[in-house]
Chain A
Amino acid sequence: MASVELRGYGWRHAGRKARAVTGVDLRIGSGERVLLLGPSGSGKSTLLSALAGLLPEDSGEQTGELLIDGVEAVKARERTGIVFQDPQAQLVMARSGDDVAFGLENRGVDAAELWPRVDAAMAAVGFPYGRERETNALSGGEQQRLALAGVLASRPSLLLLDEPTANLDPEGAGQVREALRSVLAASEATMVLVEHRVAEVVDLVDRVVVLGEGGGLLADGPPGRVFAEHGDALTRQGVWVPGAPPVPERKAAGSPGETLVRADGVGRLHPGAAAPSLSDVDMAVAAGELVAVLGANGSGKSTLALMLGGLLRPTSGRVLLTGATAPPHKWRAPALARAVGSVFQNPEQQFVTSRVYDELALGPRRVGYDEAEVARTVGELLERLRLSPLAEANPFTLSGGQARRLSVATALATAPGLLVFDEPTFGQDRRTWTELVELIAGLRDEGRGVLAVTHDRDFTAALADRTVTIHEGRVAC
């Protein structure tokens, strides 16, 4: 029920030259439900942190004003609640009920009133377990619902949501949106939501505010009008506008070539686990085809990708690359890197050096290219993946889309014939998404075999020549 007022608001993080947010004039009335959009790097997350009062004065430089119910945001923290993207980085306690109680303890809620409020909040988000349930044993969707309950228990009058479903599989994301829908129906709180998958959340909001690339607002109004007037511009900026034309299909032109990798009855029993996470999987990937591996989070599909990529030892069955006698998990790393390029879900986990150029040169050097070949390979990759201006940058400072392109480029550097991607399009805006689809289609059409683990239906529809669905550790028919 809080109202928000921004007058010429801007913020520059300490140590950065450019402003994260500039010149925002915005009034949000009490009880309004706002979807905040903008291209990546337009400062949506910074603005949300500012609204949550999480930008202390000494962490940067503010211009203009940001008031919540007429008070500075830092002093209005009791009235706001924020849910972040990563469930693991916002759950505090080991037991679910304790986690919801955490915020209430901090705000000095009386012991007698505390537990009933915890129970009510857990019921409001449809949390399926009791207070004692371990937070580490929850699925991503359950963890995000618990995080939402923890925020709701404090009864915020301004609810802020920073891409709350971006880290979840479609099922988990659906659960969180369902919870949000019923919570909003029962509450009068003002809401600001950041989310670039617009179609799924558009019925939760009554107003869309779009930040401009160079500061200020690009558009502001009811969803129907904003999308009718600015739909094309938003699509170009990378927003998934509802009703925008679908991305064209890019299926393989020719028929697949020779088989590159084959799995025969592979399974994996993690040490200490009671049941195998994967069993009896037979599959193969051939040159010039893209095989999409589908399945819910935890179904074992990532495990399968690691085993086919020679990074994890199967505990039963075997994986063989064509022409080799030893299974790939026994190979030395340089030999493996020449045959298979693996791209992980989180690009940062794969970066080893502190310069984009070195990052690309690492693989070729390890497999024994001479310096002239290394320089040529790196130059070509920088050009092809539009990373040339960033050659001297630190990989850890790249934007999400750039980091993803770099991680793909590193896998290509040693010219492997087989590429294994784990969720290549995860959490990307439409612009980066389209680039990735084009890039991966191109790689396949050059004759590489591609295995992509994904729960992105659009990606599968646009690219997959074949799909394999894993359900509870087995290939589903």
Chain B
Amino acid sequence: MLTLEPMTAPAGRIARRNPAAKLGVVAVISIAAVTTTDPLTPSILLAAELLALPFCGIRLGVFFRRCRLLLFGAVSVTLVNALFAAEQGPELIHLGPLRIGETALFTGAALGLRMLAVAVPGVVVFATTDPTDLADSLVQQLRAPARFAIGALAAFRMLPLLAAEWELITMARRARGVDAGADPVARGRLFASTMFALLVGAIRRGTRLATAMDARGFDAGTPRTIARPQRMRTADWALLGAATVVAAGAVAVSVAAGTFQALFA
């Protein structure tokens, strides 16, 4: 998961933005998308997001390839909802025994669109934010405790090691005559015991890492200084402002068009 094809150049526009500002964008869009159950609001949000992609320096080919599963998910959500609530509203589609009502299709589409409207900025932010920058920004802009942010970052660095460790444990067990073959119960048991061995190893290594971090003064209680300052620049405020305007605008249009339906009403 850490060797994914990069979605932007390292100096791409969105990659240079402050991670806290990017998290803010995701939050604002998500709030707008979940206030209402109509399909219009998420449609406007999604359209705005897709229009913004090229201006963010996103490589569109990579982006759409990464989003294939997401799109599949959204379509499935739409269809499942449309089918299970099929009889709601005036009949729209009639295919053999299948009757899909207008209301059902609209509700389903609204759900699928909301999922996309929230997920697209999420994917972009995740793929264009360096974990180190994110941790720095969490501490500096959002006042997260360094013990949490830097600790999580150190743990994140060890993730690729876990994959290699998993392979090694599996091979070591095979060498001992332990495999599961085709039996699903045996497979489940072997998976669980391999997972347990992996966790034990990870905890052991994590403890050693924590000791090494403390040895370098991480728990000293001295106020930490900042080696990599993260600032909210004009462009970061502008990005956050633009997202807020789009989010508010989408809701306003929906209210004006009379389609707005508050989620809790």
Q: Spell out A's residues near B (CB within 8 Å).
A: 49, 52, 54, 77-78, 80-82, 84, 86, 88-95, 98, 101-111, 114-115, 118, 135-136, 150-151, 154, 272, 306, 309, 311-312, 332-334, 336-338, 340-342, 344, 348-350, 352, 362-363, 366-367, 396, 410-411, 414
Contact with A along B201-212 (1 / 0, CB 8 A): 100010011011
> Closest CB-CB distance, A258 to chain B, in whole Å?
23
A94 touches B176 (CB 8 A): no
Q: Indicate the member of A52, A102, A135 with the most B CB atoms within 10 Å.
A: A102
> Within the assembled complex, what's the spacing in Å between the Cα atoms of A409 and B215?
38
A104–B172 contact, CB under 8 A? Answer: no
Chain A residues lying within 8 Å of B223, measured Cβ to Cβ, are 108
Per the bound structure, the CA–CA distance linking A54 and B193 in Å amounts to 33
Q: Is the CB of A352 within 8 A of B131?
A: no
| Pairwise interchain contact B160-A349, C-beta atoms closer than 8 A | no
* Nearest CB of chain B from residue A46's CB, rounded to whole Å: 13
Which of B3, B157, B161, B212 counts the most A-chain CB atoms under 10 A from its CB?
B212
**Cα-based distance from A83 to B227 in the complex (angstroms):** 22
Instruction: For residue B148, give the distance in angstroms from its CB to the closest CB of chain A.
Output: 14
Is B132 within 8 A of A115, CB to CB?
A: no
Return chain B residues, CB-CB under 8 Å to A366.
Answer: 176-178
- Residue of A333, A340, A341 contacting most chain B CB atoms (<10 Å): A333
Q: Which of A93, A105, A337, A344 contacts B157 (CB 8 A)?
A: A93
A89 to chain B minimum Cβ distance, whole angstroms, is: 4
Q: Which residues of B contact A342 (CB under 8 A)?
A: 171-172, 175
Point out the residue from B176, B179, B193 that lies within 8 Å of A410, measured CB to CB: B176
What's the minimum C-beta distance from B135 to chain A, rounded to whole angstroms?
Answer: 9
Q: Which residue of A lies closest to B170 (CB)?
A: A311
B209 CB to closest chain A CB (Å) equals: 5
Instruction: Give Cα distance in the complex from A363 to B179, angstroms.
Output: 11
**A151: nearest residue on chain B (CB-CB)?**
B216
Supply 11 A–B pairs (Cβ within 8 Å), ascending by A: A89-B208, A92-B157, A94-B132, A102-B150, A106-B220, A108-B223, A111-B227, A136-B160, A311-B171, A349-B197, A363-B176
Q: In chain B, what residue has the closest Cβ to A366?
A: B177
B96 to chain A, nearest CB (A): 45
A106 to chain B: closest residue by CB: B217
A368 CB to closest chain B CB (Å) equals 10
| Minimal Cβ-Cβ distance residue in B for A136 | B160
Is B59's CB within 8 Å of the partner chain A? no
**A352 and B178 contacting across the interface, CB-CB below 8 Å:** yes
Nearest CB in chain B: distance from A117 CB, A: 10
A residues within 8 A CB of B3? 272
Q: How far is the CA of A102 from the CA of B149 in the complex (A)?
A: 13
* Chain B interface residues toward A at CB < 8 A: 3, 130-132, 150, 153-154, 157-158, 160-161, 165, 168-169, 171-179, 181, 193, 197, 200-201, 205, 208-209, 211-218, 220, 222-229
CB neighbours (8 Å) of A136 from chain B are: 157, 160
Instruction: Determine the distance from Cα of A474 to Cα of B224 in the docked complex, in whole angstroms.
Output: 49
- In order of increasing CB-CB distance, the 9 nearest A-B pairs are A337-B177, A366-B177, A333-B179, A106-B217, A90-B212, A103-B216, A342-B175, A89-B208, A101-B227
Query: Would A111 and B229 count as touching, CB distance under 8 A?
Result: yes
Number of CB contacts from chain A to chain B under 8 A: 157
Q: Please report the C-alpha to C-alpha distance between residue A81 and residue B216 in the assembled complex, in whole angstroms.
A: 7
Q: Compute how far the CA of A469 lies from the CA of B236 in the bound complex, rounded to whole angstroms.
A: 56
Q: Is the CB of B177 within 8 A of A114?
A: no
- Known contacts: A89-B208, A94-B157. The answer to whether A114 contacts B227 by CB under 8 A is yes
The answer to whether A336 and B157 have CB atoms under 8 Å apart is no
Contact A82 B215 (CB under 8 A): yes
Q: Is the CB of B177 within 8 A of A348?
A: no
Bound CA–CA A106/B161 (angstroms): 26
| B228 in contact with A332 (CB, 8 Å) | no
- Do the beta carbons of A54 and B215 come within 8 Å of each other? yes
- Contacting residue for B193 out of A81, A150, A352, A367, CB 8 A: A352
Query: Given the interface contacts A77-B217, A154-B217, A306-B171, does A362 sit within 8 Å of B178 by beta carbon?
Result: yes
Q: Is the CB of A350 within 8 A of B226?
A: no
- Chain A positions within 8 Å of B131 at CB level: 94
Tell me if A54 and B216 are in contact (CB < 8 A): no
> Contact between A309 and B158 (Cβ–Cβ < 8 Å)?
no
Q: Which residues of A contact B150 (CB under 8 A)?
A: 92, 102
| Complex Cα–Cα for A280 and B130 (A) | 39
Whether the Cβ atoms of B209 and A54 lie closer than 8 Å is no
Min distance, Cβ B102 to any Cβ of chain A, angstroms: 47
Q: A54-B215, A349-B172, A362-B177 are in contact. Are A105 and B132 (CB under 8 A)?
A: no
A349 and B177 form a contact (CB under 8 A)? no
A109 in contact with B168 given A90-B212, A333-B179 (CB within 8 Å): no
Q: Are B201 and A348 in contact (CB under 8 A)?
A: yes
Which residue of chain A is the closest to B160 with respect to CB atoms?
A136
| In contact, B222 and A107 (Cβ under 8 angstroms) | yes
Query: A98 touching B175 by the CB < 8 A rule?
Result: no
- The distance in angstroms between the C-alpha atoms of A115 and B132, with both chains bound, is 17
Q: Give complex CA distance A94, B132 in Å.
A: 7
In angstroms, how far is the closest chain B Cβ from the Cβ of A116? 12
A372 to B224 CA separation, bound complex (whole angstroms): 64
Return B83 CB to nearest CB of chain A, in Å.
38
Would you call A367 and B177 a contact (CB within 8 A)? Answer: yes
| CB pair A311 B217 closer than 8 Å | no
A150 contact set on B, CB distance < 8 A? 216
Q: Is the CB of A349 within 8 A of B168?
A: yes
